Structure 1
Amino acid sequence: MAKANAGRSPRRWWALAALTLSVLIVGLDGTIINVALPTLADDLGATSAQLQWIGGGYLLALSVGMLPAGLLGDRYGHRRLLVAGIALFGLASAVGALAGTAGQVIAARAVLGLGAAMITPLSMAILPKVFGKDELPRAIGVWTAATAVGMPIGPLLGGWLLDRFPWGSVFLFNVPVTVLAAVACLRLLPADGPRVRDGRPFDYLGTVLGTLGIVALVYGTIQVPGHGWGGPSVLAPLAAGAVLMVLFVRRQRRAAAPLVDLGLFADGTFRWGAIIAVFVNFAVMGLLFVVPQYLQAVLGNGAFGGGLRLLPLIGGLMAAATLAEPLVPRLGARVVIPAGLLLLAAGALLGAATGPGDGYAPAAGWLSLAGLGFGLAIVPATSMVLGTLPQDGTGTGTSLLETIQQLGGALGVAALGSVLNAGYLARLSVTGLPDAAAGAARGSVTGADAVASQLHDKALAASAHGAFVHGMDLTLLVCAGAALVAAALAVAFLPRRAGAAQAERGAAAAEAPQPAVRAGELPA
């Protein structure tokens, strides 16, 4: 094997750099918007529900777009579809920078999500084409690190941009990066070979059912703040979404060429690893939705200052990524993953004890703990699940995995945003305010601050800050609950020898033919 590797082009590492750059911008854009939410509320008058759609709409489109992306890549070429996704991402970013209303921002973010839905699973599916079986684990590690690092760095970069440039800079930043990524992919990645057509039709019905089902579920959840859980505008889409997803699963079981391989769920490692990832993403995306608003609106930090104060979360995540590699072989994923989830829950519980008068120091402590727990849970869980994916049809397998994870994040933003808003409205006092001022104060904490500043009403500002902290505390309690449920599932259902099983699958794969790319096969 060493001899074989010696003949391989060193440009494969540049190819890996192109792939990681692609997924890095997706990770950054998934969270960079969080620190811009207060600015968007001020400049565009975005309501709390619209702020949820700005974040949730991206994740929603990302989740539904991944369903067909992997299968299309398997059929028509991974590199071709990857570059198209990068181009779409750059175009949507340019349009988003010119948006003049909250609705236009939501639309641009949704298109960004569709571009990201093509980038993430297809970039993962290309890795086995570039690397042999001995180097593939290292390449997957680098790729996974890029996706993980991009998410917490997004708020920091967003804060730096917003302190120096208008809010459109968080979109415009993507344009030159996507141009570079597209050129690098075209130049460095192996060209798509002739596709083998098996004559099976594309599952258009399954695509429609899956897309409408996910949209209905998330839409119903986002309606909760304005209509309550018992309102018909909430219950109707939730019920419709549940029915559509049942029909989608039935369709996938019967379709000649299904969008997703439901047979993967027969593997306990994949099944429970994916379920745990849903809970983790639910909790973490909810945390990343609420904390930047707390750091800016309540503690009074600027956009960059708010992003900078998320560094403890980044530090915890990076420390966990370093610790997970030696800990998993020694203790096993069944120990490390629940331990990480318990740390994540502990961090969220400490955050839920935040009071209106607390400063930043307590937040730095529980953010560090939450970041450490997040990393210790998600890094080994993702590696464990990736080890179960089949060698052929990698695009379909990665699409299923990424869809499950991103759906957890989308539902986290929607559901936990509802909890935040309900808690905020329950404690906010707008007695004596004119109707227009009261409506603005109810819309968001930044709206209440603006009204309080105009009216020189310190009592309103204090009430709004206390109400927001109350809503944040409730949100973090739910995050902690999700992490505890995931920890219990991990202890009860993760295979006792998941690490050994993965090693056995890797050894079996080593005996199978691998699609290697030699020096002469890389583009000149």
Structure 2
Amino acid sequence: MDTVSTRRWWAVVAMSLALLAGGLDLTVLNLALPTLAVSLHAKTSALQWIVAAYSLVLSALLLPGGLFGDRWGRKKFLLLALVLFGGASLWCAYSGSPNELIAARAALGAGGALLVPLSLGVLPSLFSEAERPRAVSVLLGSTVVAYPLGPILGGWLLKNYWWGSVFLINLPVTLIALVAVAFLLPESRAEKPPWLDVGGIVLSSAGLTLLTYATIGAAWGTWKTWLEIVGGLLILLLLVAWERRVGRQEGKTPLIELRLFKSASFSWGTILATMVSFAMFGILFTVPQYFQDVRGTDAMGSGLRLLPMILGLIIGAAAADRMVAAIGPLGPKTVVTVGFVVMAIGLFLGTAMSQTSSDVFMAVWIGLTGAGVGFSLPTSMDAALGQLSKDASGVGSGLIQAVRQTGATFGVAILGTIVSNAYTSKLNLAGLPAEAAAAAKKGIAGGVAVAQASGSKTLMQNVLDAFSHGTLVMLFICGGLAVVGGLMAVVFLPRQERSSEDDAEEGGTAATSDSGAGASGTSGTSGTSGTSGAGTPGPVGI
């Protein structure tokens, strides 16, 4: 590997470290909430806002973040994102009140909104079509790795240090990424700066924020939640109408290029990636609770038992990269299909688990599920990413990210609700006082607390059996979703076609970008889009 190529890959590793820090922040925060409630005298409502502030700001700024990079320089805004992320982490660690921590978490979300789309947005100007899937796998893998590592690292920190340490772990990683991006990543921006679509920014931010806010609470039985969801969808419909109008005006470019959705590779790549995220985040939300509350592990033990998912993902992503290259034009369709099939096998196998299942059995189905994700997620995302012009790679990546982020949020909310409903349907609370019964129905933690307080082993077993039932129902639904995803990939995901531009740039474009690595010069690119699928030209919710 030559020096130029090495610099490119080290830049990707640096960005993946920053994304890892973001993923760790989300997972360790949940562990720290009980401590924050005591140390900051935070009420339950304040704790909810501490968690929600990041997601709300991230959703609002994903698309504008990509646009800013396309217009004023992707490297410049990546550096800004890292400075903002590191500074906000420091602010979080030393916040003195719940309101201050909420504000710091919002600033952290703003940094993430720049970091997430632009880390993917720089890839088209750095890598050829053949190399790009591997780079996508590295970036995506870093965020998935955070979910098992977060409880392990967070549990150790909270056991040995004060609560602010869970935020300070971001600082060294962010500093390394900051230095690496500054010296290894070439600057790139659109050759013709896109028009600043203020109307599109306002509408997209409002619609995505309202949808995210509605699903965070997941109170599906209330009219308020449904009103918020309908309101968010109506705003997004207004966004589509606005973008069509802007697209017809000369000299103006819409925030979202709606013509991208005419490409089967872009549309189905984004849809399939979102389906994987929907299932994966629902699983990662529920299975740790199963380990801790049903099987009796602590947070660190739960993280250790999820490590097979990392191994599976690494193996799946590495195998997918080789299969795509070996199979040729049908590679993406084949690999994504195989990924969904492997994922379905793992999930259906998981429905056979019981409270006495061995750790080996648990590792097998979790590892298979991870391998399926490793096959399908990077490949489907790359199918969408390959349809973006280099001029619009930032905002295009933001669009794919926004769709995936929304899908992941809905996955946690909907699958979490399914688990909750299945859990309460199996509870036998006859003879309990109304207050105790209501507490048990709120969730597995409440059910265990009520059973412990009552001293009833029968009630305790019923609570554990009920949550086990809910978890198995969720796994079965996710397995069915994986089967549907595999069928969709077979029917709708087109074969990959290399354009003459891609062939010409195979050895040229990446090398041209690399020649400026470490320099502050701008790498201008043409606005022509490569074609990697049947059509012409998805957020990448990492």
TM-score calculated relative to the size of structure 1? 0.84
Query: Whole-Å Cα distance in 2 between the matches of residues 77 and 387 of structure 1?
Result: 20
Work out the CA distance in 1 between the residues paired with 2:171 and 2:241: 41
> Secondary structure at 1:265's aligned position in 2?
helix
Q: Distance in 2 between matches of 1:505 and 1:80?
A: 27
Counterpart code for 2:201: T
* Structure 1 residue 144 corresponds to structure 2 residue 137: yes
* Contact 1:161-1:170 within 8 A present in 2 as well: yes
* Equivalent in the alignment of 1:254: 245
Match of 2:211 in 1: 217
Deviation for aligned residue 1:29: 3.9
For residues 100 and 452 of structure 1, the distance between their equivalents in structure 2, rounded to whole angstroms, comes to 36
User: In the superposition, relative to structure 1, how do residues 355 and 46 fare at CA in structure 2: closer, same or farther (>3 Å)?
Assistant: farther
Partner of 1:466: 465
TM-score under structure 2 normalisation? 0.81
Looking at structure 1, the residues matched to 176 and 517 of structure 2 have their Cα atoms a distance apart, in angstroms, of: 24
TM-superposed CA distance for 1:151, in Å, is 1.2
Where does residue 203 of structure 1 map in the other structure?
A: 197
1:183 aligns with 2:183: no
Q: 8 Å contact 1:220–1:238 — kept in the other structure?
A: yes
Residues 84-107 of structure 1, C-alpha deviations (whole Å, 9 max, x = no match): 222232233334445799998776
What residue number does 1:82 align with?
78
Deviation at 1:392, TM superposition (A): 1.8
Give a deviation string over 1:318-342, Cα, whole Å, max 9, x none: 1111211222232622222112112
Residue 284 of structure 2 corresponds to which residue in structure 1? 288
Mapping for residues 429-508 of structure 1, pairs under 5 Å: 429-433=428-432, 437-495=436-494, 497-498=495-496, 501-502=497-498, 506-508=502-504
The superposition leaves residues 460-513 of structure 1 with CA deviations (integer Å, 9 ceiling, x where unpaired) of: 432332222222222223322322222221111111x22xx1465521545987
Contact 1:89 1:116 in 2 (8 A): yes
| Equivalent residue letter for 2:177 | A
AA at the equivalent of 1:345: A
Corresponding residue for residue 263 of structure 1 = 259
CA separation of 1:303/1:520 partners in 2, compared to 1, >3 Å: closer, same or farther?
Answer: closer
What is the CA distance between 1:419 and its match in structure 2? Answer: 1.7
Partners of 1:42 and 1:446 within 8 A in 2: no
For 1:148-187, what per-residue CA distance to the aligned partner results, in whole angstroms no more than 9, with x for missing partners? 1331343224323313425554333112322332233334
Structure 1 unmatched runs, 5+: none
Q: How far has the Cα of 1:522 moved from its partner?
A: 2.1
The farther-off stretch of 35-44 and 242-251 is 35-44
How far the C-alpha of 1:432 sits from its partner, in A, is: 4.7
Instruction: Report the Cα distance in structure 1 between the residues aligned to 2:106 and 2:189, rounded to whole angstroms.
Output: 31
1:36/1:158 contact within 8 Å kept: no
Alignment match, 2:529: none
Q: Which residue of 1 aligns with 2:530?
A: none
Q: Which amino acid aligns with 1:189?
A: L
Please state how far the C-alpha of 1:22 moved relative to its aligned partner. 2.4
Q: Indicate the residue corresponding to 2:293 in structure 1.
A: 297
Q: Map 1:50-449; keep pairs closer than 5 Å.
A: 58-59=54-55, 61-97=57-93, 111-127=107-123, 131=126, 137-138=130-131, 141-142=134-135, 144-166=137-159, 168-190=164-186, 200=195, 202-224=196-218, 226=219, 228=221, 231-255=222-246, 256-328=252-324, 329-330=326-327, 332-433=331-432, 437-449=436-448
Instruction: Give the residue type in structure 2 aligned to 1:211.
Output: S
Structure 2 counterpart of 1:408, one-letter code: G
Q: How far apart, in 2, do the equivalents of 1:184 and 1:520 lie?
A: 11
Larger mean CA deviation between 284-293 and 158-167 belongs to 158-167
The Cα shift of 1:367 comes to: 0.9
Q: Which amino acid aligns with 1:444?
A: G
CA change 1:193–1:295 in 2 (3 A) is closer
- Residue by residue over 1:376-425, the C-alpha shift from the partner in whole angstroms, topping out at 9 and shown as x without a partner, is 11122222222222122221222122222222212111221222222233
> Using the alignment, how far apart are the partners of 2:87 and 2:404 within structure 1?
25
Q: Given residue 182 of structure 1, which amino acid in structure 2 is its aligned partner?
A: L
Taking a change above 3 Å as real, the CA distance of residues 348 and 56 of structure 1, as seen in their structure-2 partners, is: farther
After the TM superposition, which of the residue ranges 113-122 and 429-438 deviates more from structure 2?
429-438
Q: How much has 1:299 moved relative to structure 2?
A: 0.7
Distance 1:436 1:81 in 2: 52
Equivalent position SS for 2:513: coil
Take 2:442 and 2:381, find their aligned partners in 1: how far apart are those partners?
Answer: 38
Inter-partner Cα distance in structure 2 for 1:34 and 1:244: 31
Query: Is the Cα–Cα contact under 8 Å of residues 277 and 408 in structure 2 kept in the other structure?
Result: yes
